[in-house]
Structure 1
Amino acid sequence: MTEFLPDKSLPQSVNGSSRQAFSTPLSNLSLQVTADHNLKLVEAPVYAPAKGEVLLHIKTTGVCGSDIHFWRHGRIGSLVVEGDCILGHEASGVVLECGEGVTTLVAGDRIAIEPGVPCGTCFLCMDGRYNLCEDVQFAGVYPYHGTIQRYKCHPAKWCHKLPSNVSFAEGALLEPLSVVMHGIKSAGLSLGRGAVICGAGPIGLLALAAARASGAHPLVITDLEPKRLDFAKKFVPTVVTYQVDRNLEAEANAKKIRALFDFENVGEYGAPETVLECTGVESSVVTAAHTARRGGTVMVIGVGKEIMNNLPFMHLSLAEIDLKFINRYRDTWPAGLQCLAGGILDLKPLVSHTFPLEKALDALHTCGDLSNGSIKVQIVDDRDDVF
């Protein structure tokens, strides 16, 4: 039986201003990662919304690979877990209370959370590239607490109303969908031009669905795990699957992937123009580099290790292949909501496991063990007697 303990480690200020906790105790279970790579389910403080903020009841949070990475490795690149931090950033919820000056939302509104709060004043924010803001306060990245908790305050500006036909589960999928949308826009997928998706995990499957909706064709998706490829085929029946051969070098796997595209009569032009690399694994990035046609694009969406030593530099150079990267997203929530509300994308089949907030630890362990066959694990809090 899990013991819920009051958490006294959470900071009492945000942006340097003091926070006022509610005088009436409220049960606010939260899942936190510690600096020594442990997880704990504990009670966290509940704060009144500050100016421009809303207090939310978090209804659904998806478990992301980055949550697992912070738990097991304590860092992603320069992002380091240095103390206790509430995980979670793929979330939707209900507005409970509005702070001073909030006019765009009212209590009872159903919303999806855009988890990054940029500074708004640096040259990148002023240029509209707020996803690159170095001072962004991103939910679930130390020291900014995330959404695997019952109550959370968040700026109203970064809360997006859910249409009536979009569920909380779908609203929580907007965050990983946004990653994919930013990648696809930056890659420039073309109607009727071939594309490859490397990796049939949650991001890869989202990329597959979005690529199909964009009109890119034919599509091939790759993975090591046959069960994930089977799921991909059911999810998007028109896709061709390729199981990566661990015994082959990257270039040999790339040759087999390219052979799946029928370009005998049109030469190199028929080879895949775009490769969406969704794993971040070095060998997969190298395979992607050899898969794209000359003059094509490799868009790395996956998060990988800090240094990669084996990229085929001269191949990329001589073939003028654009090797591109993204950092999260910007201005994607409105378009993503339209895709879901308008039926352009049906992402509901991706949710393979749901756990109540009280069993959030089980959710992390399920997501972290590939043998469980999970696609997207979500943590839900269906209680209505909260607040």
Structure 2
Amino acid sequence: MCRSCFNPSVQVTVDHKIEIKENDVPQLKFGEVLIHPRATGICGSDIHLWKHGQIGELKVLGNLVLGHEASGDIIDVAEDVTNVKIGDKVAIEPQIPCNTCFLCRQGDYNLCQDVKFIGVYPNSGSMQRYLVHDARYVFKLPENMTYTQGALVEPLSVAYHGVERADLKLGHGVMIAGAGPIGLATLLLVNAAGCAPIVITDLSEGRLKFAKELVPNVIAHKIDVKLTPQETGIQIRKLFGPKEDDAPSRVLECTGVESSVVTCSYTVRRSGILMIIGVGKEVFNNFPFMQLSFAEIDVKFSNRYHDSWPTIINMISSGLLQVDKLITHRFPLERADEAIELAGDPRKGSIKVIVEDRNGTL
């Protein structure tokens, strides 16, 4: 097997530059597979690592190959691997937990404190021609699924985990805050779950228009920044009906922005659930404690996902989730720096930017 082959990779540096550099082809160990990533989606966390050099305690301390929303081809397997074989098309679950701590043992491996996550320093991500990964966290794709659909399993899993934890009710109204990639993925899932009515909010008319194209029956509402969170909450509630009990019992916050979380606190019905899926800053200075307390509103959070790849693959393969419209831009691996810059500029109107690699073989 050739180990001197060219392995172009997209790296962010400690001084916030994006570079396309050659990497070594990694060596296989027991339990691992060698993958040629064919499609990688650009995530907001990739942009954050590039521009800010960290996400909370996760810091870029050296050159880092980006990418974690990925699918590709198996091109080699360790001798003990039996779940996939050379030539299989797979989607990659990017987290590799320790599988020994109490969180892993109880099934909450997404909360493992010793997790290795590709595309987060020091673990190389999928924006390279050749990637080694734990065979337990790759999942074979059906013939009717594309590489880009396989890459979308990751952001859809983020939404799916939040939706699961929100304990949605069939035929009940739901509000989604934020029409970015995760908000739109959440929209697809709550629509598939039979929720009605569905309201989605955002500051951007363009993104709200996109949401309507994705799910025509959704009620798209532009946030008026001149209103207080209380006033906005009342305004959104009226979209569900005139009575107090018409207000949504489930509100899914997909931005992580403090003002949006506060608005959602005044939107959700008493005895409801406020599910925060978005990732925000470390500390909020304004949190309506008594509003939530008096109304016995359960505030819940989600962190990544677990056990979602087979389910999301099945939902896409069966046609229950129509996800192709989420892809707005595609770039070859050799122009991935342009792709990241586009995704990082909100004025450009991208939803999901995909980096593709149609070249390369070992």
> Could you tell me which residue of structure 2 aligns to residue 339 of structure 1?
315
Distance 2:240 2:246 in 1: 7
Give me the TM-score of the superposition, normalised by structure 2: 0.98
> Could you tell me which residue of structure 2 aligns to residue 235 of structure 1?
214
> Could you tell me which residue of structure 1 aligns to residue 361 of structure 2?
386
**Structure 2 contact 3–25 (Cα < 8 Å) conserved:** no
Gaps of 5+ in 2: none
- Root mean square deviation, CA, Å: 0.9
Q: Which amino acid aligns with 2:26?
A: Y
**Structure 1 contact 50–100 (Cα < 8 Å) conserved:** no
Q: Percent identity between the aligned chains?
A: 51
Q: Which amino acid aligns with 2:336?
A: A
Distance 1:81 1:288 in 2: 33
Q: Which moved more, 1:203-212 or 1:243-252?
A: 243-252
**Structure 2 contact 237–246 (Cα < 8 Å) conserved:** no
**Structure 1 contact 268–294 (Cα < 8 Å) conserved:** no
Deviation per residue, 1:268-290 (Å, 9 max, x gap): 22111111100000000001110
> Could you tell me which residue of structure 2 aligns to residue 74 of structure 1?
53
**1:310 corresponds to 2:289:** no
Deviation per residue, 1:196-230 (Å, 9 max, x gap): 00000110001001000001110000000000000
Distance 1:203 1:327 in 2: 13
Q: Which amino acid aligns with 2:162?
A: G
Structure 2 counterparts to residues 1-387 of structure 1, below 5 A: 24-262=3-241, 264=242, 267-383=243-359, 385-387=360-362
Distance 2:186 2:85 in 1: 34
Q: State the shift of 1:24 in Å.
A: 3.9
**Structure 1 contact 178–332 (Cα < 8 Å) conserved:** yes
Q: State the shift of 1:23 in Å.
A: 5.9
Distance 2:321 2:108 in 1: 26
Q: How many residues align?
A: 362
Q: Which amino acid aligns with 1:259?
A: K
Instruction: Report the secondary structure of 2:11's partner residue.
Output: strand
